Amino acid sequence: MSEETKKISEQTENEQSAKTADKNEKKGFLTESKIELITAIFLGITALLMAWATWIGSLHGGNQATNYAKSNNLAAEGNSEYNRASQIYLSDMLAWSTIMDYKFDQDIANAKGDTVSSELIQNKLDAYIDQNCSSEFAEAAGQMTEGMTSPFDVEGFSESYFIKTNELLAESQAALEEGKQDNSNGDAFNLVTVIYSLILFLLGIVGVFKSIPNRAIILGVSVIGCVMATVYMLTLPMPTGFDLSSFF
């Protein structure tokens, strides 16, 4: 067989092999053109989903910063209110000590039958209470029963000084917990963003492989990963107060 005949024979075999491969490709579910189309579609979808996850994650981060700042402000206000309440509490305790001195002097005057001195002491006592005691203290003094040695024995009176303090500190703690939750949600969206980045990488290298089955495997892993990441993202809560229409 001549050299020219060999070349013709090899060319014929190559053409037949190419035709056979083309027929096999057409018979398969995933052809090269279909793989390229699906890859292009999921590249676009994944890029959009990644942008969405990044945006929502940044909104959670903004809420986190806002809630932490709110928590700090409320805590500072609560501490200030605690100091104010403590001062009033100590002032009323000192006032009660002075009131007891007046009462003692009045009892002595009454024991002596000195009604004039008793009335003068009572007038001083009323003026002192009006000028130096809180309204809560005066109310508690009126609720005293036998066996009580001071208004501070009245149930709930001592705690009443710190009601506003406790409310502010409770609000501060609630804002802190909400900030922690925003931080956790933001981290979760960042994880989704990382997964989408990996999927984009896999979709980008699909065309590197020459074999259709290899391309199909990489594409399949990418599609499954994209679906799973999206399902996980949909389970995550949106930022507090989020309203898409407000951005338009």
Residue 190 in contact with residue 68, Cβ under 8 Å?
no
Q: Which residues 6+ apart lie within 8 Å of 45 measured at CB?
A: 226
Closest to 102 (Cα-Cα) out of 86, 88, 122, 82: 122
Whole-model pTM? 0.69
Amino acid at residue number 163: I
* φ/ψ of residue 233, rounded to 5: -65, -40
Q: Which residues 6+ apart lie within 8 Å of 194 measured at CB?
A: none
Q: What 3-state DSSP class applies to 17?
A: helix
User: Residue 32: its pLDDT value, please?
Assistant: 80
Domain boundaries, the chain: 31-238
User: Residue 25: its pLDDT value, please?
Assistant: 47
User: Residue 120: its pLDDT value, please?
Assistant: 87
Question: CA angle at residue 244 from 243 to 246, to 5 degrees?
Answer: 70
User: Residue 232: its pLDDT value, please?
Assistant: 94
Angle between helices 32-112 and 115-132 (to 10 degrees): 170
In angstroms, rounded to a whole number, what is the distance separating the alpha carbons of residues 3 and 33? 38
Residue 234 in contact with residue 54, Cβ under 8 Å?
no
Which residue has tokens 């009033």? 88
Question: CA angle at residue 148 from 142 to 154, to 5 degrees?
Answer: 55
pLDDT tens by residue, the chain, 248 residues = 455 555 555 555 555 555 554 544 444 556 788 888 888 999 999 999 999 999 999 999 999 999 999 999 999 999 999 999 888 888 888 888 888 888 888 888 888 888 888 888 888 888 887 787 777 787 787 777 777 778 888 888 888 888 899 999 999 999 999 999 999 999 999 999 999 999 999 998 888 888 888 888 898 999 999 999 999 999 999 888 777 766 65
Residue 81 in contact with residue 168, Cβ under 8 Å?
yes
User: Residue 248: its pLDDT value, please?
Assistant: 59
User: Residue 226: its pLDDT value, please?
Assistant: 93
- Token readout for 114 is 């000195």
In angstroms, rounded to a whole number, what is the distance separating the alpha carbons of residues 17 and 123? 120
In angstroms, rounded to a whole number, what is the distance separating the alpha carbons of residues 42 and 230? 12
